[in-house]
Structure 1
Amino acid sequence: MIAPLRPVRLPANQPTQFYRGGTAIAAFRSAGAPTGSTGRADAFGPEDWVASTTTLFGHSTEGLTRLPDGRWLRDAVQADPIGWLGRRHVDAHGTSTALLVKLLDAGQRLPVHFHPDDDFARRHFDSHFGKTEAWIVVGTRDADPTVYAGFRETLDARTIRDWVAEQDAPSMVNALNAITVEPGDTVYIPAGLPHAIGEGVFVVELQQPTDFSLTLEWRDFLGSAERGHLGLGFDTALQALDRSGWDAERLAGLIRRTAGVTESRSDLLVPDSRRFFRADRLRPATPLAVDPSFAVLIVSEGEGRLRTEHGEVYPLSTGDTWVVPYAAGELELDGDITVLRCRPPAAAA
């Protein structure tokens, strides 16, 4: 008899990266966690890939989440996609979870980079998915926490090619909109949009399940232009870049400020993001029913309980990360707790 699928509490999963960070992840995971469950706090563990069925670009297994029974989550989902994802999701997306969630702690400013859309990824990487993403700010350390998104003015292709050839980082950064953020802010980053996260900003990142980053500012981060353009050459890679200008009105369509929202269930992201992923913040003033879905849960504050429709009860506390299969059914959440629920796009009825 096959055991029923249940929610699974996940340990940290921090593949080594090219930029510094990780102390905020370690502190977050250690808040109320049992001994041995803290994240890496070394210089180059700035990303925790939660419930990941995605690998680092060019790697076979690095980045994948391993379940307590020793299997990769990717293999478990492929063995029982209906149980993990639900029939409608499988009909729409096959055996892919269609989602990657990360904890990302920027110990330094990230380089200016962008990601391909689905069409570009299909043509050049043989992938069904590009890499649209969104950030939920959960913590900041610096006096002026900043993220960067979109060029302030429309730029011609030659100007950008010259900046890349000369590795003119100041010009690249100064050309972007600088956005001051605080916990509760969310920023949607469509594919193609140039962007960076500033030092001291700690986010939960939702994205399509790929690792396609095209990096304009590669010299002080990646060490080679090849890693910046992922083998495509910059003439090809730059075809995926959004060179258009984003004024304040246009930029406002990417941002939500949710720190003052007190509802028990709050949608966190702008409507345009919903065809790629969903995120809501759950604060159960009374026991809160949660519909069946494949989901990643990030416990951002407090302590509480998660009950499945099959009768299991799981304690939750600050810093926990969970993967929930569709087959766990309707859930009930209660306690003095705040949970970020991250999900793939809704499949059509």
Structure 2
Amino acid sequence: MTERPVDLPANQPRQFYRGGAAIAALRGEPDAAPGRFGPEDWVASTTTLFGRDPDGLTRLPDGRWLRDAVRADPVAWLGPAHVAEFGADPALLVKLLDAGQRLPVHCHPSNAFAARHLDCRHGKTEAWIVVGTTGPSPTVYIGFREDVPASVVSEWVSTQDSTAMLSALNPVAVRPGDTVFVPAGVPHAIGEGVFIVELQQPTDFSVTLEWRGFLDDPDAWHLGLGQETALGCVERSAQRVEDLVLRTGTADSANLLGAQADPFFRADRLHVSGRVVLEESFAVLVVLEGEGSLGSLPVRRGSTVVVPHAAGPCELTGTLTTIRCRPPLPS
């Protein structure tokens, strides 16, 4: 068991869509293949890609999977209160996601749907912290603008009417500092040129409504559940953008995502100039700018660090900006 923060290398399992240049730039690494299919960096991951175990898992410097290390000593990694509620499960997955092309319209199951149909306690509520953009009009798409009947959604999926699906969503222009909360079931897509730190529940369940041109297997979109069952997870009611999007700017924020995200995950932005003491907690840190130290561990722009609960209160020193991601507070 480690009692110190651990610096983690990139962990970019192959995906079906392009991206990754912004991740390479953040980490100060050459982007050897600008058109590559490594748009997601799974940070401190104990989660696997759907049907692709062990892809997605984080390996520690000592050679162990982080998943196995947590299972071997969950209290040290996660803390006693967390373990009492979630067991040896961080209940969190953090990603860097760089959309090199628009993602398809898709959504994710809720906890109840996942428990009933996928034998998993976690669905996939997620949130995006925008940390970079490129292009003339970086945009995300979140929730239907109007209520949509089940028969219409089914028809869109059957005919793969991409235009209708995307047009039905709320387009939101984004810039660095914006955050977007994405409840389970709400259809969404991320536009080309949007670079985010993503927090989510620790699953890889996606119902890919717009699969043509994205997925090689036309049956992969419904998680093996069939169309009728899979579409039962779609939230078809209209969504208010102002309930889901926060314009946080670049200032310090003790809660980037708002109270609605607290049952799923927590995130804050820290601008450090000197010294800040972080309370003991399992956490994932993504350093966006500058350099310094977390305890005795040197960190700099592009560092991704997992902090075990047993590390106790940690001193973050230097001149830097970081996003700190944590699991939900035990209820």
How does the TM-score come out when normalised to structure 1?
Answer: 0.92
1:12-91 equivalences in 2 (<5 Å):
12-30=10-28, 42-91=35-84
Distance in 1, Cα, partners of 2:77 & 2:157: 43
Contact 1:104–1:203 (CA<8 Å) still a contact in 2? yes
Distance in 2, Cα, partners of 1:225 & 1:213: 14
Contact 1:254–1:270 (CA<8 Å) still a contact in 2? no
The structure-2 alpha-carbon separation of the partners of 1:163 and 1:323, relative to structure 1 and needing over 3 Å to count, comes to: same
Mark the runs of 5 or more structure 1 residues left unpaired by the alignment. 308-312
Structure 1 residue 42 displacement after superposition: 4.9
Q: Decide which of 176, 190, 208 is 1:183's aligned counterpart.
A: 176
1:166-177 equivalences in 2 (<5 Å):
166-177=159-170
Q: Decide which of 320, 324, 330 is 2:313's aligned counterpart.
A: 330
The structure-2 alpha-carbon separation of the partners of 1:255 and 1:22, relative to structure 1 and needing over 3 Å to count, comes to: same
Tell me which residue corresponds to 2:121: 128
Contact 2:47–2:203 (CA<8 Å) still a contact in 1? yes
Structure 1 residue 285 displacement after superposition: 3.4
Q: Decide which of 288, 309, 330 is 1:300's aligned counterpart.
A: 288
Matched, 1:266 2:264: no
Q: Decide which of 209, 216, 222 is 1:216's aligned counterpart.
A: 209
Mark the runs of 5 or more structure 2 residues left unpaired by the alignment. none
**1:268 aligned partner, one-letter code:** L
Structure 1 residue 106 displacement after superposition: 0.3
Matched, 1:229 2:222: yes
Q: Decide which of 263, 275, 279 is 1:275's aligned counterpart.
A: 263
SS at match of 1:114: coil
Distance in 2, Cα, partners of 1:40 & 1:85: 37
Deviation by residue 1:195-220 (Cα, 9 ceiling, x = unmatched):
00000000000000000000000011
Q: Taking every aligned residue pair, what percent have the same amino acid on both sides?
A: 60
Q: Decide which of 273, 289, 293 is 2:277's aligned counterpart.
A: 289
Contact 2:282–2:327 (CA<8 Å) still a contact in 1? yes
The structure-2 alpha-carbon separation of the partners of 1:110 and 1:325, relative to structure 1 and needing over 3 Å to count, comes to: same
Distance in 2, Cα, partners of 1:182 & 1:9: 28
Tell me which residue corresponds to 1:340: 323
Distance in 2, Cα, partners of 1:178 & 1:93: 35
Distance in 2, Cα, partners of 1:297 & 1:42: 27
Deviation by residue 1:269-302 (Cα, 9 ceiling, x = unmatched):
0210110000001112341111000000000111
Contact 2:274–2:319 (CA<8 Å) still a contact in 1? no
Deviation by residue 1:7-31 (Cα, 9 ceiling, x = unmatched):
1100000000000101111111117
Tell me which residue corresponds to 1:310: none
Structure 1 residue 41 displacement after superposition: 5.1
**1:253 aligned partner, one-letter code:** D
The structure-2 alpha-carbon separation of the partners of 1:245 and 1:229, relative to structure 1 and needing over 3 Å to count, comes to: same
Distance in 2, Cα, partners of 1:60 & 1:112: 25
Structure 1 residue 335 displacement after superposition: 1.4
SS at match of 1:16: coil
The two structures, once aligned, show a CA RMSD in angstroms of: 1.4
Contact 1:300–1:340 (CA<8 Å) still a contact in 2? yes
The structure-2 alpha-carbon separation of the partners of 1:125 and 1:40, relative to structure 1 and needing over 3 Å to count, comes to: farther
Contact 1:154–1:243 (CA<8 Å) still a contact in 2? yes
Distance in 1, Cα, partners of 2:256 & 2:61: 31
Contact 2:142–2:169 (CA<8 Å) still a contact in 1? yes
Contact 1:130–1:208 (CA<8 Å) still a contact in 2? yes
Distance in 2, Cα, partners of 1:233 & 1:96: 29
Deviation by residue 1:134-175 (Cα, 9 ceiling, x = unmatched):
000010011110000000010101111111000000000000
**2:216 aligned partner, one-letter code:** G
How does the TM-score come out when normalised to structure 2?
Answer: 0.97
Distance in 1, Cα, partners of 2:77 & 2:120: 22
Q: Decide which of 249, 252, 258 is 2:242's aligned counterpart.
A: 252
Contact 1:12–1:39 (CA<8 Å) still a contact in 2? no
Instruction: Count matched residues.
Output: 331
SS at match of 2:186: coil
